[in-house]
Amino acid sequence: MKIVIAQMKHETNTYSPVPTPLARFALGGEVPPAGQQAYAAYKGTGSAIGAFIELAEGAGAQIEIAIAASAWPSGLVENSAYEFICDKVCTAVAAGCDAVLLDLHGAMVTQTFEDGEGELLRRLRAINKSVPIGVALDMHTNFYPAIAEHATVVAGYQTYPHVDMFETGQRAGRAILALLAGQARPAMAWGNKPMLPHVMRQGSDDSPNRELQARCKEMERDGALCASVFVGFPNADIHNAGLSAVVVTDGDAALARRWCDELLEMAWAQRKGFVYEIEALPASMARARQLADASDGKTGPIVLLDHSDNCASGGTMDTMTVLGAMLDAGLTDAAAFAIFDPTAVQQMMRAGVGATVTLPLGGKLDMPSIGLTGQPRTVTGRVRLISDGVYRNYGPMARGETNHMGPTVVLVVGGIEIVVISNHVEPHDLAAFTAVGIAPERKTYLMLKSRVHWRAGLRALARGIVECAGTGVCTSDYALLNFKHVRRPIYPLDAL
């Protein structure tokens, strides 16, 4: 038995000016790894592709890893990158196999295709009409009919932050192995609702997503092979952005339909719970200070979340609004992760450790889609540390995977240690800080360019949480996003 395994993961923010060439998928190299190199990168990690490898080996299958291509969210995927990745997967499948296991994101928009995953699956089906294809998808999938039409089994993450990537790969992979063994006949139903849940309200520890995901798990206990609610990714101006559900049963199409509809009705009834109320930045700053000053006996930092500019939603990660407000407010004993500014990093590396530098920090990228130009902030500070920016996640999210921040500098400005990076990486793992010699649990304030993923590795440390409305293409204000292509009417853009 031969199984082709591949990964193609990208969440596309159609408002983001950050380019998405092939190199962004390459884990610090020039092209994404394949074969043995991909095996070494993902075997034993907490990823869906890691689960596929383990399952296929357990089944005694011959494995071919066509490509392992994962990039941090950004703007439209360049056609040349997309075609390179698809060609690798198509070539491997064309050579013949008994099954295909794909670790996809589910919100990839290319320069040509609104539904990158659906197009890949369509091409694979054109090569082989009957080969079983199992797909693991991110909870932020914007689902398109072509995915359901051409995949045999679809399973989505049931947690946000995504700490069950491995388990999701197991669910998709086991259903395909059962099919190959003649022990299951997957029957799939999907559907969507005209609603754009706000990312800040999508955490699976919070209602209403907590209850939706719990119901999915219950359906799986009651016999569903995979039950998934996709909360969707709203910073994508495409027709099918928004919430959807997929249920796969063993041979019972009517039950799959009924359960899928139940999940959709449940989500629709709770749509108000997915609407986010924004706090103005000055009020957030005042509240952060109050929380820090409160002598409530607790320890740990007050976490300030710059939710308009996190790179895991395609942010430039270089807007200075929230960090600037912290500097203006004179907050001290603080750390900030991170500002993306490769130019500043190079300048600080030339200056060297211990040097005092004055430079324009951040604000290098314009954001024409939301009418903003980059606004650097000139700061004076001391270069405390220079690093190669490589670290391995402790977990629980993406456990064991290696991150490449590129050349990285810790710059101390006033009382704030600012991590300045050359590649986008969102802080969801304690290792992001230990890699650069910062103990976040000992800080009074911790500024994170993150929305929900930070909770995976850092929430347990937080004494208080303040959600700060900065600026950027991950803006939490839908009114700033000029939606043209998403289907209308849709809640809450339209009163439904």
Binding site for Zn ion (CB under 5 A): 138, 140
**Choice between 171 and 443, CB closer to Zn ion:** 171
**Choice between 235 and 422, CB closer to Zn ion:** 235
282 prior amide bond cis, ω within 30: no
**Choice between 362 and 396, CB closer to Zn ion:** 396
**Choice between 179 and 227, CB closer to Zn ion:** 227
Shortest distance, position 318 Cβ to Zn ion, whole Å:
22
For 65, list phi and psi in degrees, rounded to 5: -90, 105
Taking each helix axis from N to C end, the angle separating 79-94 and 116-127, rounded to the nearest 10 degrees, works out to 30
**CA 252 – CA 118 distance, rounded (Å):** 24
**Choice between 314 and 381, CB closer to Zn ion:** 314
Shortest distance, position 450 Cβ to Zn ion, whole Å:
12
Shortest distance, position 2 Cβ to Zn ion, whole Å:
31
**CA 420 – CA 409 distance, rounded (Å):** 5
**Choice between 452 and 486, CB closer to Zn ion:** 452
**CA 326 – CA 336 distance, rounded (Å):** 10
**CA 387 – CA 435 distance, rounded (Å):** 8
Shortest distance, position 359 Cβ to Zn ion, whole Å:
34
Shortest distance, position 208 Cβ to Zn ion, whole Å:
17
Shortest distance, position 162 Cβ to Zn ion, whole Å:
6
- Mapped onto helix, strand or coil, the DSSP state of residue 130 is coil
Say how many C-beta atoms besides its own lie within 10 A of residue 170's C-beta: 19
Shortest distance, position 487 Cβ to Zn ion, whole Å:
21
Give whole-number Cα distances, 142 to 137, 149, 253, 294, 314, in Å: 10, 15, 23, 42, 15
Which helix H or strand E contains 337, and what residues bound it? strand 334-340
Shortest distance, position 141 Cβ to Zn ion, whole Å:
8
DSSP calls for 258-287: HHHHHHHHHHHHTGGGG--PPPPHHHHHHH
Shortest distance, position 238 Cβ to Zn ion, whole Å:
16
**Choice between 24 and 377, CB closer to Zn ion:** 24
Whether residue 25 contacts residue 56, with contact meaning beta carbons closer than 8 Å, is answered with: no
**Choice between 114 and 138, CB closer to Zn ion:** 138
**Choice between 140 and 424, CB closer to Zn ion:** 140
**Choice between 161 and 301, CB closer to Zn ion:** 161
SS3 content of the chain, % helix, strand, coil (to 5): 35, 25, 45
Comparing every residue's Cβ against Zn ion, the nearest one is 140
Burial of 122 (0-12, 13-18, 19+ CB in 10 A): middle
**CA 132 – CA 3 distance, rounded (Å):** 10
Shortest distance, position 138 Cβ to Zn ion, whole Å:
4
CA angle (31, 95, 2) in 5-degree steps = 95
Whether residue 225 contacts residue 186, with contact meaning beta carbons closer than 8 Å, is answered with: yes
Q: What's at 15, amino acid-wise?
A: Y
